[in-house]
Amino acid sequence: MDQRTQEKEWARETADRIAAKVAVTAHRNRGKVPYTTAEGRFDDWSGERIGWWTNGFWPAQLWLLYHAYGNEEFRTVAEEVQDKLDAVLLDPMAMDHDAGFRFLISDVADYRITGNRQSRNRGILAASNMAGRFNLKAGLIRAWNDPGDGKTAGLAIIDCMMNLPLLYWASDELHDSRFRQIAMAHADSVQKVFVRENGSVHHIVEFDPETGRIIGPQGGQGMQVGSAWTRGQSWALYGFTLSYLHTKEERYLETAKQVADYVVSQISETGIVPVDFDQPADILWEDSTAAAIFACGLLELEKLTDGEQKETYYHTAVLLLHTLAEKRCSWDPEIDNLVEKCSAAYHDREHDFSIIYGDYYFTEGILKLAERDILLW
């Protein structure tokens, strides 16, 4: 048995373990929209916090597992969360650049798998709102909202690369090229102003919303301006790979490889990923979410390459998934989360906790390696 076959078998066994655990946690957490855990139990970001950008990842994980295993409770719990997310579509202050994280991998996934027309409608509404955030002069999609003072009108962030597939989907679904044009214009601008020569990327870039003039980068969730916040690198790696898959434009593939080569050069043989690749050696904060996203992006990217580069991407992804499964996961069914030692931002007070999108991307990566996945992006 060759190594790839062995890894596929390991991934299938690991996927079975994920499905078995999530079957328990999904049943126990009916009605919740989780972000993290407290004393081993998911919290609930319903109500006032329903607009948080991560709230699509729990139903997304359930759709991945429903597609692979057919457990009807996965579908039911996902649909219950999606019904709650309707409130976001009615709140202009909640709708922002992260529409894909909320609606592509939840409602559009539902539509793709089940044909649910209500979910299709939610996806189109979300895509239309996201397209309306495009700044024509800068060629960038505005990130956050503000209460009306315009202070965030000129901010764009690397995370948005992962939300572009919502626009690609809407363009195909509606036979309307406007959505694709906006997505590609944003990706082209990100190539120019976010990606550094060494393949690392900025988190935030500020522009003048009136003229489109690029003012410069901001530090964002990384250590400082110019450092390499790891989750930002993962958004770029996977995001440009997805833009290539949707458009077949070689420039996006080349940028994905540029970022991937930088990332691979920074990942140690332990497979442990820090919050920022540039953080001091005595700062041991980790971000397992970045590790999981890297693995997903690299597994998609290796399909598009050949030779030594292909093998490097594959083996790095496998290393990351093994490290997560064997060293950074809780398999205890009494503990709701899977992935441990996640961080939201370098300068946050708290580090090394669970975050729901860590579980989602770990599940996606394992199902990719097991060849039992469906690409929700």
- DSSP element (H, E) containing 73: helix 72-89
Cα-Cα-Cα-Cα dihedral sign, residues 12, 13, 16, 17: negative
Contact between 231 and 157 (Cβ < 8 Å): no
In a domain, 268, yes or no: yes
Q: Is 98 a catalytic residue?
A: yes
Domain presence at residue 66? yes
The string of pLDDT tens digits covering residues 239-298 is: 999 999 999 999 999 999 999 999 999 999 999 999 999 999 999 999 999 999 999 999
Q: In angstroms, what is the C-alpha Rg of the chain?
A: 19
- Average pLDDT (9-21) is 98
With pLDDT > 70 as the criterion, what percentage of the chain qualifies? 100
For the chain, give the longest Cα–Cα distance. 62
Q: What interhelical angle do 230-247 and 164-174 show, nearest 10?
A: 20
Classify residue 120: in a domain, yes or no: yes
Say if 212 falls within a structural domain: no
What's the whole-number mean pLDDT along residues 200-212?
A: 98
Helices (DSSP H) in 90-226: which residue ranges? 99, 109-114, 117-131, 164-174, 177-193
The pLDDT confidence band at residue 148, using thresholds 50, 70 and 90, is confident
Q: How many CB atoms lie within 10 A of CB 13?
A: 12
Which of 107, 159, 287, 359 is flagged as catalytic? Answer: 159
Are the beta carbons of 200 and 262 closer than 8 angstroms? yes
What mean pLDDT comes out for the span 208-221?
96
Inside any domain, residue 209: no
pLDDT at 147 over 90: no
- Using CA atoms, how far residue 139 sits from 131, 181, 185, 245, in Å, is 12, 10, 6, 21
CA dihedral (215, 216, 222, 226) in degrees, to 10, reads: -160
Q: How high is the pLDDT of residue 1?
A: 75
The whole-chain average pLDDT of the chain stands at 97
Report residue 301 as tokens: 């990217």
Is 348 noted as a catalytic residue in this protein?
no
Q: What's the CATH number where 118 sits? A: 1.50.10.10
pLDDT score of 16 more than 90: yes
When divided into structural domains, the chain yields a total of 1
Domain presence at residue 130? yes
CA distance 345 to 279: 12
| Residue 150 confidence class, pLDDT cut points 50, 70, 90 | confident
Among the listed residues 98, 110, 276, 359, the single catalytic one is 98
Burial of 307 (0-12, 13-18, 19+ CB in 10 A): exposed
Predicted TM-score (pTM) of the model is: 0.98
Dihedral angle, C-alpha 202, 203, 208, 212, nearest 10 °: 60
Residue 150 lies in a domain: no
Separation of alpha carbons 276 and 190, rounded Å: 20
Q: Decide if 183 is inside a domain.
A: no
User: What residues make up the domain containing 40?
Assistant: 3-134+162-174+228-369
Query: If you average pLDDT over residues 58-70, what whole number do you get?
Result: 98
